C-alpha cells in the first residue's frame, strides 16, 4: 500500500494536486481508494513541465530507482561520492515534483542504504493519461510504403551466396536446416528477430560504444524507449524529427553525439519506424503499419503441392506463421536465376496448432490452392479437439478381472494412477516400474505396445 511510505504532509499535498476530498488525507483507506482511481489526473499532469511529461512517457510501465531520473534533473546529481551523496538532492526533487503530485506509486526493495531501496512507478491505470512524448503529431491519411532496407536485407541475404562461398553464420543469421527455417539456432520467430533489431539500432546510434571502456548502453534501452513511444500513437498519426527530439534527449549520451536524424533513420532501416513523405516533408510512424502484401498470392506462388515464397515481400508476421506450420526447402540456382525457397505445409505441425491459426486467412488460402492439401486439411479439422495427446502418460489395459481388482485395491488412493472405462488404467511414465513390479509379483506378465 502506498500509504505505508507516505506521511501526513505527503498525503495532504497529493489530495490537493489530485483534488481529492479533504477527508482523504485523514483516512488511509479512503486515500488508497482515491489514489487507485483516475480522479484529478489530467489536472495534476497539466502542472508538469514538458520535460516531466515526456519523461513519464519514457518510463512506461517500468519500476525504477532514484538514479533513473538523473536525465530529467541533471543539475540535481553529483558526479562523485556515495549513492546517497550523488542522488540525495535528486530524490527530494522527485518527491516534490512527481510523488507529491500523485503521479507515481512508491515502494521499497531490499538494498544496502535507505535511498537505494526506493522504487517508483507510473500506475498502469494512469498511463493512458500520460501524453505521447512528441511535441506535435500530424494526421496523414496515407499508407506508408516499406523502407526497412536493412531488416529486409537481413531476411533475404541467405540467398545471396551458397555452397563454399556462404558467409559464416552469426547468432541471428537465417538459414534452412532440417527443413526448418531458423534464425541462429532457433526456429524463426519475431522475438529473436526483435533482439537482432535491438542490437543493430544500438550499434548504429552509438557507433563508438564498442570502443569505450567507460560506457556501454543497455542492449535494449534504445529499442524499448522508441517502442514505448510508438505504442502511444494511433493509426494515421505521424511525427517529424523535431517532434521526437525531446524524447531522444533522455537516452544515454555521455559524449552528446546522439543525433535525432540518425536514430530515426536507423529505426526505419530496421523496421521499427515507418517513413512517409507528405507536403515535401519527412514523417515517421509505426513500423507495423507498413503494408508489405495485401494477400498471400503476392508473396506465395503455388508449385504443385508446395509454394515458392518471395522473401522480399512476405510480411514478417506471416513468415513466423509459415515457419511454424511448413517445411522449408531451398532449390539450387539454375543459371543466372536466383535459387528459390520452397515451403510445404506440414500436416503434423498444422494438427498441433490452435484453432485460431487453423482458421486464419493465410492457412485457408494455402489449402484452397490445392485439392490434396484441402483434403488433408479437412481431415485435420474433423478430428481437431477430439484427440488428446499426452507425452508423459502410459495407458494399460487390464483384461483379467482378478488382476484388475488387485490393482484397484493397491492404487485406488494413489493420485498418480487413474482407472478408466473398458478395463483401462493410466499413469505417468515415472510410475511404470512400480506398476510393472506389482503386476509381475502378482504372477502376471506385462506386454508393451507402441501407440504409433
Answer whether residue 213 is part of any domain. Answer: yes
Q: Are 129 and 42 in contact (CB under 8 A)?
A: yes
Stretch 177-194: mean pLDDT: 88
- Quick one: 303 and 271 in the same domain? no
Out of 129, 162, 182, pick the residue that ends a domain.
129
For 397-436, the three-class secondary structure string (H helix, E strand, C coil) is ECCCHHHHHHHHHHHCCCCCCEEECCCEEEEEHHHHHHHH
- pLDDT at residue 213 is higher than 80: no
- pLDDT at residue 214 is higher than 70: no
- Quick one: 182 and 264 in the same domain? yes
Interior/surface letters 170-202, b for 16+ CB within 10 angstroms, e for the rest: eebbbbbeeeebbbbeeebeeebbbbbbbbbbb
Out of 383, 402, 426, pick the residue that ends a domain.
383
Out of 289, 318, 343, pick the residue that ends a domain.
289
- Quick one: 282 and 236 in the same domain? yes
**How many domains would you assign to the chain?**
4
Does residue 297 sit in helix, strand or coil? helix
Stretch 375-393: mean pLDDT: 74
Neighbours of 116 (CB within 10 A): 18
Answer whether residue 41 is part of any domain. Answer: yes
**Dihedrals phi, psi of 423, to nearest 5 degrees:** 70, 25
- Please give the sequence-ordered ranges of beta strands (E in DSSP) within 14-115, or none if there are none: 105-108
- Quick one: 349 and 413 in the same domain? no
Answer whether residue 263 is part of any domain. Answer: yes
- Quick one: 105 and 195 in the same domain? no
Answer whether residue 449 is part of any domain. Answer: no
Stretch 76-96: mean pLDDT: 92
- pLDDT at residue 205 is higher than 50: yes
Answer whether residue 388 is part of any domain. Answer: no
At CA 214, angle to CA 212 and CA 220, rounded to 5? 80
Does residue 310 sit in helix, strand or coil? coil
Stretch 401-429: mean pLDDT: 86
Average pLDDT along the chain:
84
Select the more confidently predicted residue: 60 or 325: 325
Label residue 117 by pLDDT band (50, 70, 90).
very high
Stretch 424-434: mean pLDDT: 88
| pLDDT at residue 160, as a whole number | 46
Label residue 143 by pLDDT band (50, 70, 90).
confident
| pLDDT at residue 220, as a whole number | 54
| pLDDT at residue 210, as a whole number | 43
- Quick one: 256 and 341 in the same domain? no
Answer whether residue 46 is part of any domain. Answer: yes
| Digit-coded pLDDT (tens) for 309-342 | 998 899 999 999 999 999 998 877 676 666 788 9
Stretch 438-443: mean pLDDT: 88
Select the more confidently predicted residue: 222 or 73: 73
Answer whether residue 226 is part of any domain. Answer: yes
Whole-angstrom distance, CA of residue 295 vs CA of residue 150: 24
% of the chain surpassing 70 pLDDT: 89
- pLDDT at residue 209 is higher than 60: no
Per-residue CA distances from 13 to 20, 21, 30 (Å): 10, 12, 15
| pLDDT at residue 208, as a whole number | 59
Q: Are 43 and 18 in contact (CB under 8 A)?
A: yes
Whole-angstrom distance, CA of residue 300 vs CA of residue 278: 32
- pLDDT at residue 110 is higher than 70: yes
Q: Beta strands 300-303 and 418-420: pairing type?
A: unpaired
- Quick one: 273 and 377 in the same domain? no
- pLDDT at residue 108 is higher than 80: yes
- pLDDT at residue 170 is higher than 80: no
At CA 317, angle to CA 199 and CA 347, rounded to 5? 125
Which positions ≥6 away from 274 have C-beta within 8 Å?
Answer: 144, 147, 268, 284, 285, 286, 287, 289, 290
- Quick one: 273 and 374 in the same domain? no
Q: What is the total residue count of the chain?
A: 452
Containing structural domain, residue 414? 393-441
Stretch 164-187: mean pLDDT: 75
- Quick one: 93 and 174 in the same domain? no
- Quick one: 42 and 27 in the same domain? yes
| Digit-coded pLDDT (tens) for 236-295 | 999 999 998 888 877 766 666 678 888 899 899 999 999 999 999 999 999 888 888 889
- pLDDT at residue 134 is higher than 70: yes
Answer whether residue 334 is part of any domain. Answer: yes
- Quick one: 17 and 54 in the same domain? yes
- Quick one: 50 and 107 in the same domain? yes
Amino acid at each position: 500500500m502506498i500509504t505505508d511510505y507516505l506521511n501526513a504532509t505527503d498525503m495532504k499535498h497529493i489530495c490537493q494536486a489530485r483534488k481529492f476530498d479533504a477527508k482523504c488525507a485523514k483516512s488511509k483507506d479512503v486515500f488508497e481508494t482515491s489514489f487507485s482511481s483516475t480522479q484529478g489526473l489530467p489536472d495534476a499532469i497539466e502542472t508538469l513541465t514538458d520535460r516531466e511529461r515526456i519523461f513519464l512517457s519514457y518510463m512506461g510501465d517500468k519500476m525504477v530507482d532514484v538514479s533513473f531520473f538523473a536525465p530529467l534533473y541533471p543539475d540535481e546529481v553529483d558526479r562523485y561520492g556515495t549513492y546517497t551523496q550523488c542522488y540525495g538532492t535528486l530524490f527530494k526533487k522527485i518527491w516534490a515534483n512527481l510523488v507529491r503530485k500523485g503521479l507515481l506509486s512508491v515502494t521499497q526493495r531490499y538494498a544496502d542504504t535507505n535511498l537505494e531501496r526506493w522504487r517508483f512507478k507510473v500506475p498502469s491505470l494512469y498511463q493512458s493519461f500520460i501524453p505521447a512524448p512528441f511535441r506535435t503529431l500530424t494526421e496523414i491519411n496515407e499508407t506508408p510504403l516499406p523502407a526497412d532496407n536493412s531488416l529486409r536485407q537481413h531476411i533475404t541475404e541467405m540467398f545471396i551466396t551458397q555452397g563454399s562461398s556462404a558467409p559464416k553464420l552469426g547468432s541471428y543469421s537465417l538459414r534452412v536446416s532440417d527443413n526448418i527455417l531458423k534464425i541462429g539456432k532457433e526456429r524463426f520467430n519475431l522475438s529473436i528477430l526483435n533482439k537482432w533489431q535491438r542490437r543493430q539500432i544500438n550499434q548504429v546510434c552509438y557507433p563508438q560504444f564498442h570502443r569505450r571502456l567507460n560506457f556501454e548502453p543497455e542492449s535494449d534501452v534504445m529499442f524499448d524507449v522508441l517502442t514505448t513511444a510508438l505504442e502511444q500513437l494511433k493509426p494515421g498519426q505521424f511525427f517529424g524529427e523535431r517532434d521526437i527530439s525531446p524524447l531522444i534527449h533522455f537516452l544515454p549520451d555521455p559524449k552528446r553525439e546522439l543525433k535525432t536524424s540518425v536514430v530515426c533513420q536507423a529505426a526505419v532501416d530496421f523496421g521499427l519506424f515507418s517513413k512517409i513523405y507528405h507536403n515535401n516533408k519527412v514523417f515517421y510512424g509505426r513500423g507495423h503499419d507498413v503494408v508489405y502484401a495485401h494477400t498471400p498470392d503476392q508473396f506465395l506462388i503455388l508449385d504443385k503441392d508446395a509454394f515458392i515464397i518471395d522473401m522480399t515481400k512476405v510480411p514478417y508476421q506471416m513468415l513466423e506463421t509459415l515457419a511454424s506450420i511448413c517445411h522449408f526447402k531451398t532449390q539450387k540456382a539454375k543459371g543466372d536465376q536466383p535459387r528459390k525457397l520452397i515451403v510445404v505445409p506440414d500436416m503434423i505441425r498444422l494438427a498441433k496448432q490452435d484453432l485460431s491459426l487453423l482458421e486464419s486467412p493465410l492457412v485457408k488460402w494455402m489449402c484452397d490452392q490445392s485439392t490434396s492439401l484441402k483434403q488433408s486439411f479437412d481431415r485435420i479439422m474433423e478430428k481437431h479437439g477430439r484427440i488428446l495427446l499426452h507425452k508423459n502418460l502410459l495407458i494399460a489395459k487390464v483384461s483379467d478381472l482378478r488382476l484388475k481388482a488387485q490393482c484397484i485395491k493397491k492404487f485406488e488412493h494413489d493420485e498418480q494412477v487413474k482407472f478408466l472405462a473398458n478395463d483401462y488404467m493410466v499413469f505417468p511414465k515415472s510410475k511404470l516400474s512400480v506398476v510393472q513390479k506389482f503386476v509381475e509379483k502378482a504372477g502376471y506378465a506385462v506386454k508393451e505396445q507402441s501407440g504409433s
